[in-house]
Homo-oligomer: A and B are copies of this chain.
């Protein structure tokens, strides 16, 4: 409830407030954005733009609490690096340096810590960025869940680049960089020992691929698709631009194994988490060139044009295969807790 301070906070913080969906947005906009009121934060983008003397920087942070810590295609260490690199890259920034804050539960296995650290090292090497500063805390047994990692990242925004949902224009095309939902179902499968085979997280550093895309042609805005999936990110784009967005159901790329797992688990791949996928908005004059550039990179081979920006509104609609249309809302509640 809003108090004298004008801040809105729920009586108790439920799991769903960390889902990345509607409740997370309520908490962020009602509490954090109001309390810390400043222009950079108010944009609620993946990373904030700040001035540093004569340079423009992107700055971002993410906490990682994924369970289990290791899963096919990734682990908490790889996630922590890729997530932060990707948050910088979608702002058009070139990653300069990462930080890592480790919160470890007393008694945690040293070899598992080493495994996570080596995974961070490999992901950072692939992204071409150093982890330059860190911190380690240990809390008593039973007061954490093995290992949590918070990373932050600083990137340099080259002169002239300005990517923001406020730059979207009617007629812009929506590119999705690859099959959706792999990360979410891979983690859920590993967590619950469901035994579905072939599921693998898409977790990857996207900076090199996105840099290629930016060099190929005009891009208005980009976002990496994480908690809440494509549907939630599209709603953020629609809300920030004030324009409506239409997604073509037939075009949405989903791998057969993930589609099958989603059907079995009652999940929607449009809301399932990704950690190596991005959406890009381009004017029609550049979308073919940008698409080609994405497809020339190994993380973008499955890229497609999957929708478009309509006129004023702020809604997201799904145009179905049979020609119907339904509203796609932000993720409600908690589809998959602790997915990253």
A197–chain B nearest beta-carbon distance, Å: 27
Q: Contacts A133-B61, A135-B61 given; indicate if A97 touches B50 (C-beta within 8 A).
A: yes
Kindly list chain B residues whose C-beta atoms are within 8 Å of the C-beta of A254.
none
User: Does A270 make an interface contact (CB < 8 A)?
Assistant: no
A99 adjacent to B61 (CB under 8 Å): yes
Q: Are A139 and B65 in contact (CB under 8 A)?
A: yes
Task: Say yes or no: is A284 at the interface (Cβ < 8 Å to chain B).
Answer: no
A194 at the A/B interface (Cβ < 8 Å)?
Answer: no
User: Which A80-117 residues have a C-beta within 8 angstroms of B?
Assistant: 96-97, 99-111, 113-114, 117
The count of residues in chain A whose C-beta lies closer than 8 Å to any C-beta of chain B is 84
- A17's nearest neighbour on chain B, judged by CB, is B138
CB distance from A41 to the nearest CB of B (A): 5
Complex interface: chain B residues within 8 A of A24 (CB): 136
Q: How many copies does the complex hold?
A: 2
User: Residues of A at under 8 Å CB distance from B?
Assistant: 3, 5, 7, 9-19, 24, 27-28, 31-32, 35-36, 38, 40-41, 47-48, 50-55, 57, 59-65, 96-97, 99-111, 113-114, 117-118, 120-121, 124, 130-140, 142-145, 148, 150, 152, 154, 156, 337-338
Q: Which B residues touch A52, using CB under 8 A? A: 52, 55, 57, 96, 154, 156
Q: How far is the CA of A7 from the CA of B115 in the complex (A)?
A: 11
Is B12's CB under 8 angstroms from A109's CB?
A: yes
| CB pair A65 B136 closer than 8 Å | no
Are B13 and A150 in contact, CB atoms less than 8 angstroms apart? no
A17 close to B136 (CB less than 8 A): yes
Contacts of A16 in B (CB 8 A): 138
Inter-chain contact B61/A130, CB cutoff 8 Å: no
- Which of A65, A99, A337 has its CB near the most chain B CB atoms (within 10 A)? A99
Contacts of A337 in B (CB 8 A): 138-140
CB A159 to nearest CB in B, in angstroms, measures 9
Given contacts A36-B120, A130-B40, A337-B138, contact A63 B150 (CB under 8 A): yes
A12-B110, A35-B118 provided; 18 other pairs, C-beta below 8 A?
A7-B114, A11-B109, A13-B109, A14-B107, A14-B138, A17-B138, A18-B104, A18-B137, A31-B117, A32-B136, A35-B120, A35-B121, A52-B156, A53-B55, A61-B135, A64-B137, A101-B152, A139-B338
